[in-house]
Structure 1
Amino acid sequence: MHVGATEQAVAAPLVRGRLGLAALAVGQVVSWGILYYGLIVAAPVIAADTGWSLARIALSFSAGLVTSAAAGIVVGRWLDERSPRSVMTAGSLVGAAGLGAVSAADDLAGFTLGWVIVGIGQAAVLYQAAFTVIARRYGDGRRRAMTVVTLAGGLASTIFAPIVAGMLTVIDWRTTFVILAVALIVLSTPLHWWSLERTWPARPPATPDDDVHALRDVLRTRRFWMLELAMIAVVAALYSVTLALIPLLGEKGITYELAAWALGLVGAGQVIGRLLYVALPHGTAAWVPLAATAGLSAVLLALIALLPGPPWLLVVVGVALGAVRGAQTLVQGSAVADRWGTRSYGAINGVFAAPITAVAALGPALGPVAASAIGSYASMGLLAAALALVALVLARFA
């Protein structure tokens, strides 16, 4: 009895209950704010200082995000099998090292290498890593915990965008990234170290009645691949339009200022969508939430493509799209656990999330490329609506 109690004490985090969840949420705010939104705010300043084009800077950033998607496969397995405390703490340190490399880069190759290093750190500290911890720690209570964490993550841009912008008015971008790297170490590393489990408690042996599926067995199922394709389709549809909202609304005669406000309100919509998601009953079949977000996406994407105005209505539709996108984050986070349980969540979710994260990483380019190919942003919106309909059909088999 004494040994078992000791093992439980070692496995438990030093910060428990609501404080443990709060620490995880604050870690997401800091990590998203520094490792993701810092570059989005700083990109124009970097372009002006270096002469590098915004497109090339964005591609360097995307290289890091794609790296994050690939690294997430390995990180998911580590989080299942090893110490979440050491994995996420190391992720913060690697992310900070990457920002240091970014600040010192003399050319685009070095700049891109820095973001690749940052991407490895992102894989160990952003949503997918946090979702793995939540799935193991909270079990059936994971939906509310995921909602709390993603609501906090949604505030990252609100908090850090003005901070980074303010820093860039008084110091150069290189010094700004050095300060952000130090802030990441000071703020997030202690949170991860003191609030996360040193080891997971030992799990009981599997029995025939356990909802336990090894990764190789899950990958052999049609259900997994239907889920994967449906999720990729709906994410591509939502990201291609919401990230291109400014030029899409500009085609309809809306001013840049109002279109920029509409884009900002998409973020507010995401918070609303996540709150609605957790408030709804979740006793339905696992495929229903995905089908609902895909169906709503198809309707709203068609509306924003076809409606000529008035401006206030287009803004409302944009906010609604943000709400669906916010709910979709939670649908994705819950998808693996809802179908295959939490025992191998990290390994399965790592493989599942990698291509979705890669598509999201390419999101800023998807809309403009499609619009250029087919002639207009409105046509691109209709194409995205059709893609969401494909996701709706696939969802029924997921």
Structure 2
Amino acid sequence: MPVTPAPHFRFRPRKFGQKAIWQLAFAETIVWAGFYYLFPALLPRWEQDFGWAKTDITIAMTLALVVSALATPYAGSLIDRGHGRTLLVGCAAFGSLLVASLTLVSTPLQFYGLWLLIGLMMGGSLYDPCFSFLTRTYGGGARQAITLVALVAGFAGTLSFSLSNILAEPFGWRVSALTFAVLLLLVAAPLFWLGTRPGNTNSEATETETPDSQKAGRRMARSKAFRNPVFWFLATAFSLIYLNHGMMITHFLPMLDERGVSLEIAVVAISFIGPLQVAGRVVMVMVEKRVSTRAICTTAFASMVLASAALFAAHWSLLLLPLFVLFQGASIGVMSILRPVVTAEYLGRAHFGTVYGVLAMPVTASFAFAPWLGAIIWTFGGYDSLLFATAIMALAALLFFVLAATHRQSA
């Protein structure tokens, strides 16, 4: 039985123009490009310029993602209290100063300190807080808004890798970093400001409760979620799937190298992951009126099992490599949209930012630790064992999602 949104979450097309959603979509594209994707885009140049080991540099991103995971529940709470605009704008603006400061570092400690702070900004400006804001604002109509934002922001990786390298080649990586700092400050922050201005938000979403009653409501929402088995089933399912994806993406190039695949072919293959994420989202938009959310989500989980199997079998035939890219890319692309949508449908929209923020914490943490856990599995069993593990993770994630859907239906 579908969940009926509370009155203050009703979607009113006349109040919410597409313009505001486009503004948020382009802002998300820039913060993803300037915060998250800038790291892998400039990693080889940092390694060459600083002379530090690659493992020492990549610790910074792990720390940033861990901080982002810890910050997400607090970001959700701020959004529930009506501070979404300040949060999104402030994180983009202050984050721009941190990205610019990367050009001044000379020691690993300085580098780690800046990325810890950038991780905090990521926790307040990437998909999770943005989708929480959209869900609070648009209620039952949030799915269309989330889909549009995810479709546009799917090109953030392309923007970051292409622009950073175009600038870094003749001018050095510091010019690239400063360029993205300017984009964050002068483009992303203003777009967040415009996309979240009061004229674009549901005036009925403004809380009439006192601060104490709001705080009690958020605490009650967390407590209710923790007592609900569906919450734990969804948290486990999504955490496993992002652990799978983090391992796959991080170890993809050395995995193919171990199988004798040339670096050129491997780079071409992984470069299609991003576009196929967008393609998966487009297909979802085309079929969503005829196919249930549960069916789409089940298909995405199952496809990630097939992705691991295809990559394992590519050891004997490279013709199966495109199947891995297709299944993995399209599925994780759809998953980024379905995660907030399914959470709202299965757990309700009341105090959504608080509940979704808590659920997102283990998901982000899983993605942060995926490279390290993948390296441990590889150390003891090689990449065949890693692919077996990722297949098991995806299969377990599918089973936990089925449990969540079944339990919700029977409740």
Shorter-chain TM-score above 0.5: yes
Deviation at residue 226 of structure 1 after TM alignment:
1.4
Q: SS at 1:362's partner residue?
A: helix
CA distance in 1, matches of 2:34, 2:208: 41
Q: Note the residue ranges of structure 2 that are not aligned, 5 or more in a row.
A: 1-7, 210-217, 405-411
Q: SS at 1:52's partner residue?
A: coil
Number of the residue aligned with 2:313: 306
Deviations 1:256-275 (A, max 9, x none): 10011111111122112112
1:372 pairs with 2:374:
no
Residue type matched to 1:25 in 2? A
Number of the residue aligned with 1:162: 162
- 8 Å CA contact retained: 1:291, 1:391: no
Deviation at residue 91 of structure 1 after TM alignment:
0.9
TM-score by length of 2: 0.86
List aligned pairs for 1:55-134, cutoff 5 A. Answer: 55-134=55-134
Number of the residue aligned with 2:392: 386
Number of the residue aligned with 1:343: 350
- 8 Å CA contact retained: 2:284, 2:296: no
Deviations 1:193-244 (A, max 9, x none): 12204475344889xxxxx972221112121111111111122123312332
Deviations 1:337-369 (A, max 9, x none): 111222211111110001101111233444333
- 8 Å CA contact retained: 2:306, 2:327: no
CA distance in 1, matches of 2:398, 2:183: 42
CA distance in 1, matches of 2:25, 2:84: 15
- 8 Å CA contact retained: 2:240, 2:394: yes
- 8 Å CA contact retained: 2:34, 2:184: yes
Q: SS at 2:309's partner residue?
A: helix
- 8 Å CA contact retained: 2:167, 2:175: no
Q: Note the residue ranges of structure 1 that are not aligned, 5 or more in a row.
A: 1-7, 207-211
Number of the residue aligned with 1:201: 203
Is the deviation greater in 270-279 or in 197-206? 197-206
- 8 Å CA contact retained: 2:68, 2:121: yes
- 8 Å CA contact retained: 1:370, 1:380: yes
1:362 pairs with 2:364:
no
1:249 pairs with 2:256:
yes
Deviation at residue 185 of structure 1 after TM alignment:
0.3
Residue type matched to 1:383 in 2? A
Could you tell me the percent identity over the aligned residues?
24
Distance of aligned partners of 1:299 and 1:251 in 2 relative to their CA distance in 1, 3 Å threshold: same
Number of the residue aligned with 1:34: 34
Residue type matched to 1:201 in 2? S
Number of the residue aligned with 1:232: 239
1:397 pairs with 2:403:
yes
Deviation at residue 285 of structure 1 after TM alignment:
7.3
- 8 Å CA contact retained: 1:16, 1:195: no
- 8 Å CA contact retained: 1:286, 1:338: no
Number of the residue aligned with 1:3: none
Residue type matched to 1:117 in 2? L
Distance of aligned partners of 1:46 and 1:200 in 2 relative to their CA distance in 1, 3 Å threshold: same
Distance of aligned partners of 1:307 and 1:163 in 2 relative to their CA distance in 1, 3 Å threshold: closer
Q: SS at 1:397's partner residue?
A: helix
CA distance in 1, matches of 2:376, 2:322: 23
- 8 Å CA contact retained: 2:123, 2:129: yes
- 8 Å CA contact retained: 2:300, 2:331: yes
CA distance in 2, matches of 1:114, 1:220: 37
CA distance in 2, matches of 1:81, 1:394: 31
List aligned pairs for 1:143-158, cutoff 5 A. Answer: 143-158=143-158
Number of the residue aligned with 2:181: 181
- 8 Å CA contact retained: 1:93, 1:121: no
List aligned pairs for 1:312-327, cutoff 5 A. Answer: 312-327=319-334
List aligned pairs for 1:275-290, cutoff 5 A. Answer: 275-281=282-288, 288-290=295-297
- 8 Å CA contact retained: 2:75, 2:124: yes
TM-score by length of 1: 0.88
Distance of aligned partners of 1:285 and 1:316 in 2 relative to their CA distance in 1, 3 Å threshold: closer
Residue type matched to 1:281 in 2? E
Distance of aligned partners of 1:322 and 1:366 in 2 relative to their CA distance in 1, 3 Å threshold: farther
Deviation at residue 287 of structure 1 after TM alignment:
5.2
- 8 Å CA contact retained: 1:79, 1:132: yes
Deviation at residue 97 of structure 1 after TM alignment:
2.5
CA distance in 2, matches of 1:187, 1:167: 18
Distance of aligned partners of 1:353 and 1:71 in 2 relative to their CA distance in 1, 3 Å threshold: same
